[in-house]
Structure 1
Amino acid sequence: MLKYIPAPAPSTIAIRLVRPAVVSISLMSLCWRRSGGRGPRAGRYQVVLIVLAGWLFGSPNFPDLNQPRKRGRVRICAVTPRTQEATMSRDLKPATQPDPERRAILRAAGGVAIGGIAAALAGDATAFAQTPVAAGDPGSLGARLQGVQHFGLTVQNMERAYEFYTAVLGGTEVFRHGDFQGDAVQNTLLADQEILANQLGVNPRTIGVPDLRDGAQRLDVRFIQFDNVVIELLQYRDADQPMGGSKAFAEPVEHMSPAFPRMMHICFYVRDDVDFNQFIADLEAESARRGMTQVRANRIIRVSTEDERKAAPQSANTNKVTVAPSDGWELIYCKGPEGEQLEFVKALGPVKKRFADALAAHLQLASAK
């Protein structure tokens, strides 16, 4: 039965309007920050969920769920497409204990609203690391991996490369092993290249395929440990060359532009408190002192000659990215002693958080497998 309900006091109206609005704005701000300033990804549906949650948890009545209720009226506001308010009342029976059914309904509604917001936020947080489709399948490929174990770099001069990655960059040798040869080694490492040589109708040696099978060439490796990754140095050499020497079986690739397909690079993570410009200057100076003049970092200003590169101000050693979602990167590309492509980076602020969130999501996903 519909009954007349006296208008509430102005202060009550203010509380009922301001508190839900504040909660809704706070939730919207949270979504905006988590999305990197791009706004909610779920669009109008996420906005509706946020507004509903704001009115639900910002309502002055919501904190009173566990308090005894007196006989009175309940105002139910239905939000219509035109945001009109419909008010009705019903008699309530006297109660000295909280109404469990009403509490369950409100908790369920709150759960739905918060769940929707959390799902939307999770969608934003994982925008840079999408969950594999079969991640939950214990038999999937991803579930059977432990991560990346090492990166391999084939070098021309083993001792020179070893000195750079240990004495200059601070890596620690795990172990070294060498003189690899034989049919199994050849098949394991080079079968695809021998097939290609047969298809081209050429001698495998002409396309850089060593003869480990008969022992004309040998393979040596050294593993270098850094904090969170291992780098493997590999050298293919003629059998009559000493282990760790400066002469490799094949000539190095001359054109090492990072734009070439199949090119890879190794990226080193510089500590947050390190002056990046000074680090690059010190890297070049220390490498040059050791005779590694090939170690040269780029500059962020245009240079046409090596003299111009050297004369560039030290502030040109760092490219500081300010555009989302990469805001917080500081980086520069650099050639290593073997002509390999290196990168040095710092990850600060927003981009650091994005990687941390992605790692946490990945670890949570892995622990659930």
Structure 2
Amino acid sequence: MKLAYQISIVVFFVTVLISLFTKPDPSRFGKQIVGIQHIGVTIKDWDKSLKFYVEGLGGKPLLTGTDFKGMDIQNILFQKELKDALKNEANFKDYSIPNFLKNDRLDAIYIQYSNTVIELLRYYDSETNTPVSDIREMTSPAIPSSQHIAFHVVDNIDLNDFVNDLEEWSHENGMENVGCNRLKGCIIDEEDKIVCEEAEKVDKKFNSLKIQGKDKGDYNGWFLAYCKGPNGEQLEFNQVLYQSKKVFQKAYDTRPQTKN
């Protein structure tokens, strides 16, 4: 009995100490979220997209689903847009909403990378095999609600070389839309006119933005390239080095663990 009492006292004080030094999770749903499961991107060209994300960037295809249709799919994916169209007395096609009760269909494939999954979604007319809504060629990441996918590039290569190789391989395989921004090459003059030179005329050292130097604080070591994918989707390729790498590692080591 004496030993059991002593153990209970120790357990009590350990519990008190843990409660004193453990910060509670202030978020509403943090303990219910395990992590990012996948990132979805709507595409236009199925074959070119698979070639780019699988053969090019090395993803592994997982689940594939084709010919999704019907009332359940219509509502779970597009009910908010349908209500908005009704409220504004607009045709649902003006909102780029497919009609899964008629000819429109959805194909989807999940592609695994080492730390996350990308889902490619294709909405199309099953009779004409054309997209439900054409993808806007002219897009800017400055548009509110626009999104991008960022890939982590290994430390032991030069990101400038990676940009060159990615573009050359993509263009050789018929993906002319794939292109990355440079640090130099375009200006907006005093009359708001755009003046640009060809990308190949810009020195390779300007293929990526490399933030480095102790005066950059925690951003020291943040390297990035901003690119367009085969469907016009916004992509980023990162290297995280020096101080930035330490910041990310510390956040990873101290993040709350949620069990699935």
In the alignment, the residues of structure 2 paired with residue 198 and residue 351 of structure 1 have an alpha-carbon distance, to the nearest angstrom, of: 48
Q: Is 1:312 the equivalent of 2:202?
A: yes
Partners of 2:196 and 2:39 lie apart in 1 by: 30
Is 2:165 aligned against 1:282? yes
Query: Which of 261, 270, 280 is equivalent to 2:153?
Result: 270
Kept in 1, the 8 Å contact 2:210–2:223? The answer is yes
| Contact preservation (8 Å) 1:220, 1:235 | yes
Shift of 1:227: 0.7
Deviation at 1:301, TM superposition (A): 1.4
Q: Runs (4+) of structure 1 moved beyond 6 Å?
A: none
Deviations 1:27-68 (A, max 9, x none): xxxxxxxxxxxxxxxxxxxxxxxxxxxxxxxxxxxxxxxxxx
- Letter of the structure 1 residue corresponding to residue 116 of structure 2: V
Q: Deviations over 1:213-241 (max 9, x none)?
A: x1320000011111111000000000214
Q: Matched residue pairs, number?
A: 230
Matches within 5 A, 1:206-285: 206-212=94-100, 214-242=101-129, 247-285=130-168
Tell me how far apart the structure 1 counterparts of residues 257 and 115 of structure 2 sit (CA, whole Å): 18
Partners of 2:68 and 2:107 within 8 A in 1: yes
Paired residue secondary structure (1:175):
strand
> Which residue of structure 2 aligns with residue 137 of structure 1?
none
Once the two structures are TM-superposed, the CA of residue 256 in structure 1 deviates from its matched residue by 1.4
Structure 2 spans left out of the alignment, 5+ residues: 1-20, 188-194
User: Relative to structure 1, is the Cα distance of residues 306 and 219 closer, same or farther in structure 2, using a 3 angstrom cutoff?
Assistant: farther
Tell me: higher relative CO, structure 1 or 2? Use CA pairs within 8 A at least 6 residues apart: 2
Mapping 1:174-185, distance limit 5 Å: 174-185=62-73
Structure-2 separation of matches of 1:283 and 1:261: 28
SS in 2 for 1:325: helix
Q: CA RMSD in A?
A: 2.1
Q: CA deviation at 1:175?
A: 2.2
Could you tell me how far 1:141 is from its partner in structure 2?
Answer: 1.2
Matches within 5 A, 1:304-343: 307-322=197-212, 323-343=216-236
Determine if the alignment matches structure 1 residue 358 to structure 2 residue 251.
yes
Identity of aligned residues (%): 34
Q: Which residue of 2 is the match for residue 202 of structure 1?
A: 90
Secondary structure of 1:324's partner?
helix
Distance 1:368 1:248 in 2: 40
| Corresponding residue of 1:158 | 46
Equivalent of 2:37 in 127, 141, 149? 149
Question: Whole-Å Cα distance in 2 between the matches of residues 318 and 355 of structure 1?
Answer: 21
Question: How far is 1:307 from its partner?
Answer: 4.6
Deviation string, structure 1 residues 247-272 (Cα, Å, up to 9, x no partner): 31111123311111000000010001
- Rounded to whole Å, the distance in 2 between the matches of 1:285 and 1:161 is 16
What's the TM-score, normalizing by structure 2? 0.83
SS at match of 1:215: coil
Question: CA 1:368–1:175 in structure 2 vs 1: closer, same or farther (change >3 Å)?
Answer: closer
d(CA) in 1 for partners of 2:71 and 2:36?
A: 28
Higher-strand-fraction structure: 2
Match of 1:345 among 238, 241, 252: 238
The alpha carbon displacement at 1:203 in A equals 1.3
Unaligned runs of 5+ in 1: 1-118, 120-129, 135-139
Could you tell me how far 1:131 is from its partner in structure 2?
Answer: 8.1
